[in-house]
Amino acid sequence: MLDEGRNRRRSRMQIDIGQTKSGKTIALPLARANRHGLITGSTGMGKTTSLQRMAEEFSAAGVPVFAADVKGDLSGVAATGDAESPLAARCGALGRQFTASAFPVQFWDLFGHDGLPIRTSVHAMGPELLGRMLRLNETQQGALSVLFKRCEDNADFKLTLDDLRWALDDLMENREDVSKRYGHITAASIATIQRNLLALEVQGGGHLFGEPPFDITDLIRTGPDGRGIINLLAADQLMECPKLYAVFLLWLLTELFRVLPEAGDLDKPKLVFFFDEAHLLFTDAPKELVQQVERLVRLVRSKGVGVYFVTQSPADIPDTVLAQLGSRIQHALRAYTPKDQRMVKAAAQAFRENRGIDVKAEITALAVGEALISVLDETGIPTKVEKVDILPPAGQVGPISAIERRAIMEASALRKKYAYDLPEGEASTVFANRMRRDRGLPEVVKTGDWQPGDFRQFVPSFVPEAPAGPSRLDHLTGVLVSGLIAAGGLTYLTWLVG
Ligand SMILES: Nc1ncnc2c1ncn2[C@@H]1O[C@H](COP(=O)(O)OP(=O)(O)OP(=O)(O)O)[C@@H](O)[C@H]1O
Ligand SMILES: [Mg+2]
């Protein structure tokens, strides 16, 4: 019998995914894991469980992982699997010893409830991705780009959706002047952006924008034992706004690409990124967006990032993107309609032929947890398609409890860095000042707020200067005390003279 734990240590240069009926292990070489992949299958057929298995294997090999936890069930990876469960029994049936294990997890949540918040600025998101979030057409997108250009020219950096709204109001007011300088913008375009902005805010989009800024390299961490941290994004609430979800993940990928240096050929990826419910990114996607994703996926590989799309059918992914995905795990597809049958045909054609396997017939007949699989081999060529049982995860399959989750969140090493809020107005000033400092510009003075020195004219000269970075209270107390001393002295003098 194969010991899963020992076997895993021995095979650190590859991750074990499935086993054929004849007992052959199908494994993905870590050096090829940045050549991306695809996990497909109808609902309930085992996609998330396969994702969990892969995430665990990557983590055990020291590779950090990012995955969106769409239904909350992936959180189980943080708890030890049950040795008495049917999954463990299945492991035994495959002639392998089940070794239960819990994995190091960092929870993230845009809304800040079920994990640390991830925040950025409207400025950093940029007009293209923001336009996609706001579901703008080409003309409206043009108006938004002008707004961004104007802000950049005026060194006026926008943090939140509220800041953006002010900028839109200002654009509306000065539309004619702006049109002369930057090209024609219609009032109707601005009005649509304003309307869609409101809709985005209602869906909770505002949570993404604020301070402190998210540092993407915080996704690339290993624990003290050398295992890769599995970053899980709570995505259940986020899924209520599918465009926000899809564009947010795309932004994360864009940031990874922007920030990470060229890595060349690595023995293992720096990060593996699972993009669950990937169809949301591509449904009604304009040509430019598909091209952008195709380019990003192609280039991010050389930064050492492997991207794995998870969706129901390969037909959900545009061909140009599909061509970039080296490894495929195909769970059962239930084909009832002629459209479904076309999907099956397309899925079957995506595999390298194996004479012993009738792929088209198998795809519809696979049981839960079974899959057709082809991975890139050491030389980068897709292996012939094989039918396998996906090896069960070592962590718990299914969600952890709210209490367990809270305990993991409290213990997070990144808590101090991210788990705090600045009042919104203050956050925008802190952000704008940081951006201006970075460009060698003087900081903005926020009007309406107390500034050091504002009360100087009222303070007698014998009162010492407020220390550097005084709090408003300290300074007011100083003023008050000196006032009282002066009034006391005056009364005493009057009394003496009198
Ligand atoms: N490899 C496996 N071995 C044993 N049981 C499995 C395996 N994969 C999945 N299962 C069983 O099937 C159930 C559903 O699997 P899973 O949640 O992974 O499906 P899914 O394809 O992600 O579904 P959905 O599309 O609804 O999210 C699991 O809870 C588990 O009980
Ligand atoms: Mg699932």
Q: Is the dihedral of CA 275, 278, 284, 287 positive or negative?
A: positive
pLDDT at 425: 76
Q: pLDDT by residue for the chain (498 residues), tens digit each? A: 555 554 555 457 999 999 999 999 999 999 999 999 999 999 999 999 999 999 999 999 999 999 999 999 999 999 999 989 888 898 888 999 899 999 999 999 998 899 999 999 999 999 999 999 999 999 999 999 999 999 999 999 999 999 999 999 999 999 999 999 999 999 999 999 999 999 999 988 999 999 999 999 999 999 999 999 999 999 988 888 888 888 899 999 999 999 999 998 899 999 999 998 898 888 888 888 899 899 999 999 999 999 999 999 998 999 999 999 999 999 999 888 888 888 888 888 888 888 888 988 999 999 999 999 999 998 989 999 999 999 999 999 999 999 999 999 999 999 999 988 887 678 999 999 999 999 999 888 764 455 444 454 455 555 555 554 444 455 555 556 667 777 777 777 777 766
What pairs with residue 50 in β-bridges?
A: none
Matching residue, tokens 């259940």: 236
- The residues, ordered by sequence, that sit 6+ positions from 145 with a Cβ below 8 Å of its Cβ are 127, 131
404: three-class secondary structure by DSSP: helix
Gap between the Cα atoms of 495 and 489, Å rounded? 10
Alpha carbon of 203 to ligand 1 centroid (Å): 30
The closest residue, in CA terms, to atom 25 on ligand 1 is 43
Gap between the Cα atoms of 148 and 167, Å rounded? 9
Q: Could you tell me whether strands 327-330 and 37-40 are parallel, antiparallel, or unpaired per DSSP bridges? A: parallel
pLDDT at 469: 44
Q: How far apart are the first and last CA of the chain?
A: 107
- Kindly report the number of other CB atoms within 10 A of residue 409's CB atom: 18
The closest residue, in CA terms, to atom 28 on ligand 1 is 46
Gap between the Cα atoms of 171 and 179, Å rounded? 10
With b for 16 or more beta-carbon neighbours within 10 A and e for fewer, the 440-457 pattern comes to eeeeeeeeeeeeeeeeee
Gap between the Cα atoms of 37 and 55, Å rounded? 13
Is the Cβ–Cβ distance between 208 and 119 less than 8 Å?
Answer: yes
Q: What's the Rg (C-alpha) of the chain?
A: 28
Predicted TM-score (pTM) of this structure? 0.86
- Kindly report the number of other CB atoms within 10 A of residue 492's CB atom: 10
Matching residue, tokens 């069930």: 73
Alpha carbon of 329 to ligand 2 centroid (Å): 14
Nearest CA-CA partner of 67 in 379, 299, 251, 309: 309
Residues in contact with ligand 1 by the CB-under-6-Å rule are 41, 43-49, 71, 73, 87, 90, 368-369, 390, 392, 397
From 45, 71, 74, 366, the mutation candidate for ligand 1 (largest count of ligand atoms within 8 A of CB) is 45
Gap between the Cα atoms of 175 and 185, Å rounded? 7
Alpha carbon of 48 to ligand 2 centroid (Å): 4
Domains of the chain, residue spans: 2-118+214-418, 126-208, 456-497
pLDDT at 141: 95
pLDDT at 488: 75
Structure tokens at 167: 């900028």
- Kindly report the number of other CB atoms within 10 A of residue 416's CB atom: 8
pLDDT at 246: 87
Q: Closest ligand to 52 CA?
A: 1
The closest residue, in CA terms, to atom 6 on ligand 1 is 369
Alpha carbon of 137 to ligand 2 centroid (Å): 32
Identify the architecture of domain 2-118+214-418 in CATH. 3-Layer(aba) Sandwich (3.40)
Q: Is the dihedral of CA 142, 148, 152, 155 positive or negative?
A: positive
Q: How far is CA 1 from CA 4, 20, 53, 92, in A?
A: 9, 15, 20, 8
pLDDT at 406: 96
Helices (H), 222-350: 242-259, 279-282, 287-300, 319-322, 338-349
- The residues, ordered by sequence, that sit 6+ positions from 133 with a Cβ below 8 Å of its Cβ are 125, 200, 205, 243, 244, 247
